Structures are given as C-alpha cells and as structure tokens.
Amino acid sequence: MRRSAVWLSCLLCLGPVVAGAAAPGDDGWSGTYGMTWVPGAAAAAGVEQPPSKVVIAKAPDADPARRAGQDGVDRMRWTLAESGSKAGDGAELRRFREREYAEWGWADIHRTGGMDCLDGGRMFVCRTSPDTTVAFGPEGPRRETLFARTGVFGIALHAGAFELKKLDNQHE
C-alpha cells in the first residue's frame, strides 16, 4: 500500500461520521481535491508520489441539542474522505472558532476574509489566496511558514502539512 494512503488512512480514522450528505449546493468547500504532502512532511518521507484524491462533502449539521452551552459554535459540518471510500468513512470537519484563528496568529487575516478553516480534531484544512505564504505561531525566530501554492492547505498531527488542489466541483 502506498505510504500516502497509509498516512491518509491514519488521518481519516478519527472516528465514524454520520453517513449521508445534505442537499448539494456550492458551499465553497465541497468537491474532489488532489492531495499532495508538502516536501519535508513526515508523511512524504522523501518519496515522491502522485497526488491522492480526497473528497470534501457537506454533511448534516450538528445536532443543536448536543451543542447546548456552546454559544457561537457553527453547526455546519463537512466530511473529508479518501476518494472511493464507503459512506461513513472519513473525518468530520467543523468551522474554526474565532479563538482558534487567534491561536494560530490568523485572527486579523480571518476577520478581513483572507482565511477560512475547518477543523477535524487531529487535522485541519484552510483556504486562503493562492500563492500566499502563511506564518504559524508567535513572532520570533521559531515562527514557521508554509507557501500555499494552491491556496488550500492543511496540517495533520504527526504527518505534516499538505496541499489540496480542487479538481472539480462534483462529488465522485
């Protein structure tokens, strides 16, 4: 099995997700993407591989009863799964909270509409303008950067950074 498929499987085994998708529509995220690991990512492990295909799909909104006491939490949900996966496989994604943008140093960028992110627990996916250098962490010598060539990037815990390139607006 290809290394990227193994890492993607690890990335996606965050727990079962509610099967089924909401009515189709352009939510800005849904579609099929080519996924490539950023050079230097642990998942890339120095081996050049063709892009994997992943699908981001709109999922049913979170149950408001389960969100009691969490004011301001967006109920919209998506799933991220490897192309061709069976229904229910994949990671559930939710919009970042304002404090999460602040934790990464992106609060101002988000407020001006320059960054939108989805969180999946052990990974996240963000959208910004193509050909943007994104800085991570506090100011100083330990600050890291990522060049988001396509404008859609993510980070998976213990696997590293990846880029997504939208292939179409359709689900497979």
Residue 35 lies in a domain: yes
Place of tokens 């909270």: 97
How many Å is the Cα radius of gyration of the chain?
16
The per-residue pLDDT for 49 is 66
Does any domain span residue 108?
A: yes
User: Does residue 19 lie in a domain region?
Assistant: no
**29/13 Cα distance (integer angstroms):** 21
In a domain, 172, yes or no: no
**164 residue type, one letter:** L
Domain count, the chain: 1
How far, in Å, CA of 172 to CA of 170, rounded?
6
Q: Give the pairing of strands 123-127 and 77-82.
A: unpaired
- Neighbouring CB atoms inside 10 A of 43's CB total 21
Q: Is residue 23 part of a domain?
A: no
Taking only the tens place, the pLDDT of each residue in 111-123 is 999 999 999 999 9
- Higher pLDDT among residues 47 and 107, named by residue: 107
Polymer length in residues for the chain: 172
Q: Do residues 78 and 58 lie in contact, with contact meaning Cβ atoms separated by under 8 Å?
A: yes
Helices (H) and strands (E) in the chain, counts: 3, 10
Which pLDDT band holds residue 165 (cuts at 50, 70, 90)?
A: very high
Q: Which helix (H) or strand (E) holds 161?
A: strand 160-166
pLDDT confidence bin for 170, thresholds 50/70/90: very low
Owning domain of residue 8: 3-14+28-61+75-166
For residue 116, being part of any structural domain is answered with yes
